[in-house]
Amino acid sequence: NAGVTQTPKFQVLKTGQSMTLQCAQDMNHEYMSWYRQDPGMGLRLIHYSVGAGITDQGEVPNGYNVSRSTTEDFPLRLLSAAPSQTSVYFCATSSWGNTEAFFGQGTRLTVV
């Protein structure tokens, strides 16, 4: 089992460019979420999903879009990248049967 797979691991964007961060899981978990990690700020929730076709906003959703068409995938879209979106992004999954959240290895994004 791969668990939670994030791609790419590193990315450099120019201001105004768009891109999609990929997250895939093979754990059959209902819940998926995206966090950003910034120094001194911990992990802040961007968007989350409680199942296919259902998404909701977290603490810092502005500038990001998500969709959940399948149980396995939960992509995060940056529509027009800004330097303030320079961060490390983590995808996580969890389920009713297991209270633990499982994390991907992260995507380090730099917007110049």
**Which residues contact other proteins (rule: CB under 8 A)?**
4, 31, 33, 35, 40-45, 48, 50, 90, 92, 94-96, 98-101, 103-106
Of 38 and 80, the one with the shorter C-beta distance to other proteins is 38
Of 17 and 102, the one with the shorter C-beta distance to other proteins is 102
**Distance in angstroms (rounded) separating the CA atoms of residues 8 and 11:** 7
How far the first Cα of the chain sits from its last, in Å, is 36
Of 12 and 79, the one with the shorter C-beta distance to other proteins is 12
What's the sign of the alpha-carbon dihedral 61, 40, 92, 73?
positive
CB of 74 to other proteins, least distance (A): 12
CB of 36 to other proteins, least distance (A): 11
From the number of C-beta atoms within 10 Å of its C-beta (0-12, 13-18, 19+), residue 99 rates as exposed
